[in-house]
């Protein structure tokens, strides 16, 4: 008989290790087979759950909410860290309209539809509020993991909206919770709450992000501590504004933008770490949700959940995006594509857990319906997103950009920029010798990687499709270098 410890800990670590290992190993064939990976993780969690073959003890909903909240915060920080702030200006206004008005329209439509379908009013209100916002984790995974290269304006709109709309969904969920508990907050109180959430979240995110940039400029030479520092910035950016009454989700994304716009020592390595953290968060959220699923309750909620999920994917979300984006001069095809790419994932389940913890009648029923709606969203339009994108003409010109095969780690600020490119067959530089390139005065090709061979950047070296090229330039020459290598940031 093994002792209670470390035997009990060994059981937990073995179970976690097996689940994570299976999740990672099965992700690659699942993506090739066009199976939504969220369903894969949910299925593994259900198999290991209390009613599955693993018979794992049920997870406390409080643990699900806390882990889900922290995971989403870290996913949002990773998204902000990777998003060029200078590219956001042209999509900021329509994204804000989608993140507010679009969420309210979607929530109202779903709540009304649920009521008409016979879903009890408390559950219908909670379902509409919880599924009203898109899920940043699901959106980032779909766009960055599908191999698709959406037009730049479209991908920025979808990603920014998914990062900004959580405060509105939280506001609607809390308002529905108070209403169903018998409280009647005034319209002025609700407006004040929304302004405080957005204002404190924005200012708090900027403040923590600026402080984080200052810390990173003074960071020491220990490579492994830099991701520790950036993770600390992310957690503080979520926690501090939340304690002050603001939206931590908005704050952590803004902090990621602020940090990413400055100097990040060993940036490539830091981005890899946060990419891994984001994957941990996504896998962990869906596995935990799978562990708490009761298949019997899920089956009972399936008819209403499937109907509402189809209505969300085919009617409510497309209409909301059309109404919000047509005034911003988005063509109908682009507006519909933005609607299709607005996926739901684990976040609606986390939001629906708030009223459950508050003791709202009908909250458990709402969670079950929300889960079915999220599953439907994984299929429609999640699994069909590549087909929809091609049908609506949303692909960018040229092939998707490949990640550079060679990275240069720099631990201190540089006077210029190091830019990495992949040479494509349609690129203007393909077939040209380095000495013949029309580079700006202070720009220099530093190195060329061809297959597994590192080539000297000599003037007679001819660039070929598939080459990975690193260029050094001054900040004011960056746009010219990007234009030369066919990366203008335009659609």
Q: Write out the DSSP string of 250-273.
A: HHHHHHHHHHHTS--TTHHHHHHH
**Hey, how many other C-beta atoms are within 10 angstroms of the C-beta on 423?**
22
387 and 440, same domain (yes or no): no
Tens digits of per-residue pLDDT, 412-461?
A: 666 677 788 888 887 888 889 998 888 888 888 988 888 778 887 888 88
DSSP 295-332: HHHHHHHHHHHHHHHHHIIIIIHHHHHHHHHGGGT--H
319 and 445, same domain (yes or no): no
Contact in structure between 126 and 176 (CB atoms under 8 Å)? yes
| Entry field: residues in the chain | 491
Rounded Cα–Cα distance for residues 362 and 119 (Å) = 10
Q: With respect to residue 364, please indicate whether it lies within any of the assigned structural domains.
A: yes
Q: With respect to residue 140, please indicate whether it lies within any of the assigned structural domains.
A: yes
- Looking only at the bridges linking them, the beta strands covering 468-473 and 444-450 are antiparallel
Residue 226 has pLDDT above 60, yes or no: yes
Q: With respect to residue 57, please indicate whether it lies within any of the assigned structural domains.
A: yes
CA separation, residue 270 to residues 61, 143, 411 (Å): 32, 21, 11
Domain boundary at 391, 407, 427, which?
Answer: 391
What the block records as the tokens of 150 is 């959406």
Q: What is the Rg, in whole angstroms, of the alpha carbon atoms belonging to the chain? A: 24
Residue appearing with tokens 């095969």: 405
51 and 161, same domain (yes or no): yes
CATH number for 451: 3.30.70.1450
Its domain, for residue 140, covers: 39-178+274-391
351 and 476, same domain (yes or no): no
Residue appearing with tokens 């931590």: 248
161 and 297, same domain (yes or no): yes
Percent of the chain with pLDDT over 90: 12
441 and 359, same domain (yes or no): no
- Looking only at the bridges linking them, the beta strands covering 453-455 and 444-450 are antiparallel
> What element of type H or E holds 172?
helix 166-180
Tens digits of per-residue pLDDT, 158-193?
A: 888 887 887 888 888 888 888 888 777 677 877 888
Q: With respect to residue 379, please indicate whether it lies within any of the assigned structural domains.
A: yes
Phi then psi for residue 477, to 5 deg, are: -100, -5
Q: With respect to residue 402, please indicate whether it lies within any of the assigned structural domains.
A: no
51 and 89, same domain (yes or no): yes
Tens digits of per-residue pLDDT, 94-116?
A: 988 998 999 999 999 988 888 88
Q: CA nearest 321: which of 248, 256, 372, 392? A: 392
- Strands of the 417-422 sheet, one edge to the other: 417-422, 468-473, 444-450, 453-455
The pLDDT of residue 247: 87
431 and 372, same domain (yes or no): no
Name the domain count of the chain.
2
Contacts of 48 (CB under 8 A, 6+ apart): 15, 19, 54, 56, 287, 290, 291
Residue 206 has pLDDT above 90, yes or no: yes
Residue appearing with tokens 């994957």: 279
Q: CA nearest 320: which of 100, 106, 99? A: 106
Q: With respect to residue 106, please indicate whether it lies within any of the assigned structural domains.
A: yes
Domain boundary at 391, 408, 434, which?
Answer: 391
Residue 70 has pLDDT above 80, yes or no: yes
> Can you tell me the mean pLDDT for 367-388?
77
Rounded Cα–Cα distance for residues 381 and 383 (Å) = 6
**Least trusted range by pLDDT, from 30-34, 42-46, 216-220, 487-491:** 487-491
Q: With respect to residue 212, please indicate whether it lies within any of the assigned structural domains.
A: no
58 and 151, same domain (yes or no): yes
The pLDDT of residue 282: 81
Rounded to 10 deg, the angle between the 248-260 and 225-243 helix axes is: 140
173 and 299, same domain (yes or no): yes
Q: CA nearest 308: which of 364, 251, 371, 258? A: 371
Domain boundary at 356, 391, 426, which?
Answer: 391
333 and 469, same domain (yes or no): no
Rounded Cα–Cα distance for residues 5 and 450 (Å) = 53
Going by the DSSP 8-state scheme, the letter that residue 185 receives in this structure is -
> Model-level pTM?
0.78
Phi then psi for residue 408, to 5 deg, are: -115, 120
**Average model confidence (pLDDT) across the chain:** 81
Q: With respect to residue 3, please indicate whether it lies within any of the assigned structural domains.
A: no
Contact in structure between 132 and 311 (CB atoms under 8 Å)? no
Query: Does the N-terminal peptide bond of residue 381 adopt cis geometry, omega within 30 degrees of 0?
Result: yes
The pLDDT of residue 1: 46
Contact in structure between 66 and 53 (CB atoms under 8 Å)? no
> Can you tell me the mean pLDDT for 227-251?
93
347 and 453, same domain (yes or no): no
CATH number for 382: 1.20.1530.20
């Amino acid at each position: 008989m093994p002792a209670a410890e470390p035997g009990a800990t060994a059981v937990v670590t073995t179970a976690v290790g097996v689940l994570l290992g299976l999740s990672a190993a099965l992700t690659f064939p699942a993506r090739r087979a066009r199976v939504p990976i969220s369903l894969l993780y949910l299925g593994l969690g259900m198999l290991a759950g209390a009613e599955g073959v693993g018979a794992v003890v049920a997870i406390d909903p409080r643990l699900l909410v806390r882990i889900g909240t922290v995971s989403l915060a870290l996913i949002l920080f990773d998204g902000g860290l990777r998003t060029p702030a200078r590219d956001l200006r042209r999509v900021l206004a329509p994204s804000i309209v989608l993140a507010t008005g679009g969420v309210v329209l979607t929530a109202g439509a779903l709540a009304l539809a649920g009521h008409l379908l016979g879903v009890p009013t408390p559950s219908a209100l909670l379902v509409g509020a919880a599924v009203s916002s898109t899920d940043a984790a699901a959106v980032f995974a779909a766009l960055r993991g599908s191999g698709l290269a959406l037009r730049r304006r479209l991908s920025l709109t979808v990603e920014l909206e998914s990062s900004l709309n959580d405060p509105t969904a939280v506001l609607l969920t809390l308002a529905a919770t108070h209403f169903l508990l018998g409280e009647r907050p005034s319209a002025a109180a609700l407006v004040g709450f929304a302004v405080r959430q957005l204002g404190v979240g924005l200012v708090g995110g900027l403040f923590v992000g600026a402080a984080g940039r200052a810390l990173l400029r003074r960071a020491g030479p220990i490579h492994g501590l830099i991701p520790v520092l950036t993770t600390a910035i992310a957690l503080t950016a979520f926690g501090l504004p939340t304690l002050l009454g603001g939206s931590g989700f908005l704050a952590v994304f803004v902090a990621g933008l602020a940090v990413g716009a400055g100097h990040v020592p060993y940036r490539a390595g830091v981005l890899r770490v946060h990419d891994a953290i984001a994957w941990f968060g996504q896998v962990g959220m869906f596995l935990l949700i799978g562990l708490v699923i009761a298949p019997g309750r899920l089956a009972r909620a399936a008819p209403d959940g499937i109907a509402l999920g189809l209505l969300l994917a085919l009617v409510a979300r497309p209409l909301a995006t059309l109404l919000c984006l047509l005034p911003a001069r988005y063509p109908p095809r682009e507006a519909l594509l933005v609607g299709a790419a607005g996926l739901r994932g684990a976040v609606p389940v986390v939001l629906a857990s708030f009223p459950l913890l508050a003791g709202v009648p009908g909250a458990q029923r709402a969670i079950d319906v929300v889960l079915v709606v999220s599953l439907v969203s994984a299929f429609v339009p999640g699994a069909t997103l590549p087909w929809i994108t091609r049908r609506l003409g949303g692909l960018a010109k040229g092939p998707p950009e490949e990640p550079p095969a060679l990275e240069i780690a720099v631990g201190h600020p540089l006077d210029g920029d190091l830019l990495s490119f992949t040479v494509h067959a349609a690129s203007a530089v393909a077939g040209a010798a380095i000495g013949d390139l029309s580079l700006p005065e202070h720009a220099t090709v530093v190195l060329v990687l061809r297959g597994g061979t590192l080539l000297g950047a000599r003037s007679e070296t001819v660039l070929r499709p598939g080459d990975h090229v690193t260029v050094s330039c001054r900040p004011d020459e960056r746009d010219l270098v990007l234009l030369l290598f066919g990366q203008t940031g335009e659609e």
